[in-house]
Structure 1
């Protein structure tokens, strides 16, 4: 079924939102107030999901997508308009989400940080499929499907990652990568060295790892999925530098994927704040923990992942920080045992699911003076901020980092202070 529609705005998730016969309609790759011909793909939970067929009246903001794969590959959502306008749209979405979900009417400015909109990713996860002839297909999922869309390169990835991708596309890897379903790449800050993770049920795990190390320039380590863990061949970790700090990152440990804005984010999270004590509750390998150690008498980095917690401890030791304590635990388990009241700063950088009420209840109980919340998910950020505002905290500033140009994803930082009783 085809119809015409002129969507009103872009929403979180990448689609344009319009209304037809009283129903919400989501249409991808369309801009507000464009008149388009679309067809219904499916109806779910009362929402019509449609596919654009023709742009009848284009927006002045519309441009030719810089990537030939746009509209087929599912990796990008926003290549049909420019990076500056993309960032402004994300600002608007963040503000609206804070209001709608968190009941926070943020009237002040949202500080915007942008950088180079291409070659910004230091990490990528490629899906691996096979042609009927048995040749490798390496790329990303097609938009709105789980079919592999093969790509020769990606304009979002660093030069080194694209170079390694091109190597893996050679025919010789088809038999060596038998059983592989995903290839993950991670490059250091200089884009010189790369770590490779192979996932799936590989039949030639260690031998293919050695072959990769010897034949693909710049690959420093290869980790192969084995049972519930990773078997690492080559260097046990990469070192990624941000500002004055070098971070050991082992395969499987989380690290931010944006090359160009990371130093600005770290500076903004810590800022001029200082004091006696601080907590980094989703610490990872210590991205914020290490610079916090310069400004606070004692810093506790709390991390649930065993590999990341080990990296955090090693990173603190490598920088001779005697005031950093690493705790391998989930935030909830840690806060149940934490007795100190009135800690000067708590940094939160949770996964996409957010912090959640159970952890926040414990957190407000220890009455931190400041909470700096970093989030990649406006809906869960707004939900959690709503809880914090209802329990005595006030947003002081909101910043948005366009870590992911050409996609709907963003990184936000909200600084909160405890209201005087």
Structure 2
């Protein structure tokens, strides 16, 4: 490691105001897509690195009062054997640095061999469990069923920005700056087949694309910039070929149909779901079936049991849980989003043993008095939190299933359960987000023995 020296080039868009570079030795992975190094006694979180590498970095955040700094790799001086060619040029930090700019976000592990990505993710998950839940667990990260050997072509949902010239774009990491893009290698073919980068998107602020997991007609949601006329939006929509199109009304928050339909039909293990184009759904094409199978295998819901599905979304898990417990049982479905809750009502129409409640999970549990045999929760990235965990424990279910998209919030919540005498009985971690640092998990938790 050497002292920082003045940089000979200016930082590109998205970089901080610090103009220094330094050579660092990378130590280990950290949660959030970073790798840990040290510079003059200070921790530096470095992106686009690998353990054991010697790299030159450009500092991107260097507040003197901060407990750590951030940096991006701009040159690899001694490379890891696990470093590979990045599959997406605009997300490749080294190619971006050669053009004196930052990389777009969304593929921060693309420079790492796929098997090594999963090994690193397992190490990160273990570290979070050890640090936040004070428990040790041997984590094996599973690829999604049917995953492509190159880890590409899995995203069924993609969100794009629009640059000032009206071109399809994406944000640079931790920046308001955007960069024009064309093909997105992580997306399924149907997203790229729309060739949205050939269109003049002037007047549009954001473009969201959703494709049914099993294939079908895509849905494109246009989010207009303030002041854009309806005529201009209609002109952009008319240029989109091969997709249904809707526009987000900025005042009501509702999606207005322009062409085709504003919802997708998803099919999971033989069951059809209706999901609004703007609604939440697992983005990996294989994730819904893998997660439903994991939940049913892990919780083994039985006829006549009383089940709660918390943060239930459009009913991905509610539907099979309702089928498993049958009319003699009951299911409480709680979802905060009004639109997604409406999807759940459609997907469970006629199932009188299912109570669908739209609202905050803690508020609903606070007034729910019926006993529960099984609780499943699939919270957002922030996790459930201490209050909801306490409410679940007080309901005295025989088992809890926890679906998580963030190892840190899961480990924190797991610590609350363990502190109350509960046991982590099983844990599966899935790599539903190849070439990114993200992962998904399902855990079964059991209460203390009576």
TM-score strictly above 0.5: yes
Q: Deviations over 1:211-254 (max 9, x none)?
A: 56654333124132330312421424211112211111114321
- Partner SS, residue 274 of structure 1: coil
- 1:267 is the counterpart of 2:293: yes
Equivalent residue for 1:184?
A: 208
Aligned residues: 407
Within 2, Cα distance between the matches of 1:417 and 1:40?
Answer: 45
Whether 1:256 and 2:275 are equivalent positions in the alignment is: no
Return closer, same or farther for 1:209/1:323 CA change in 2, 3 Å cut-off: farther
Shift, 1:141, TM fit: 0.7
Please report the RMSD computed on the Cα atoms of aligned residues, expressed in angstroms: 1.9
Change in 2 beyond 3 A, CA 1:242/1:255:
same
* Structure 1 residues 141-220: aligned runs within 5 Å: 141-164=171-194, 166-171=195-200, 173-174=201-202, 178=203, 180-201=204-225, 203=227, 206-207=230-231, 210-211=234-235, 214-220=238-244
Segment drifting more, 153-162 vs 182-191: 182-191
Of 249, 255, 263, the residue aligned with 1:237 is 263
Distance apart, 1:204 and its partner CA: 5.3
| Stretch moving more, 374-383 or 267-276 | 267-276
Corresponding residue number in structure 2 for 1:306: 338
Alignment of 1:278-357 (within 5 A): 278-296=307-325, 297-317=329-349, 321-341=351-371, 343-357=372-386
What is the DSSP-based 3-state SS (H/G/I as helix, E as strand, rest coil) of the residue aligned with 1:263? helix
The secondary structure found in structure 1 opposite 2:370 is coil
User: 1:9-28 deviations in whole A, cap 9, x for unaligned?
Assistant: 11111121022332212221
Q: Show the counterpart of 1:102.
A: 133
Out of 34, 42, 49, the position equivalent to 2:53 is: 34
Instruction: State the Cα distance separating 1:96 from its structure 2 match.
Output: 0.8
2:431 aligned with 1:407, yes or no? Answer: no
Distance 1:242 1:124, change over 3 A: same
Please, which runs of 5 or more residues in structure 2 have no aligned partner?
A: 5-20, 94-102
Give 2:250's match in structure 1, choosing from 215, 220, 226: 226
Mapped partners of 2:79, 2:355: distance in 1 = 56
CA shift, 1:265, in A, is 1.2
Runs of 4+ in 1 over 6 A off after TM superposition: none
For 1:229 and 1:67, locate their aligned partners in 2 and report how far apart those are by CA, in whole Å: 33
8 Å Cα contact 1:375/1:413 also seen in 2 = yes
TM-score by length of 1: 0.91
CA contact (8 A) 1:212 1:219 kept: no
For residue 61 of structure 1, report the CA deviation from its aligned partner.
0.7
Structure 1 counterpart SS, 2:285: coil
Classify the secondary structure of the residue corresponding to 2:209.
Answer: strand
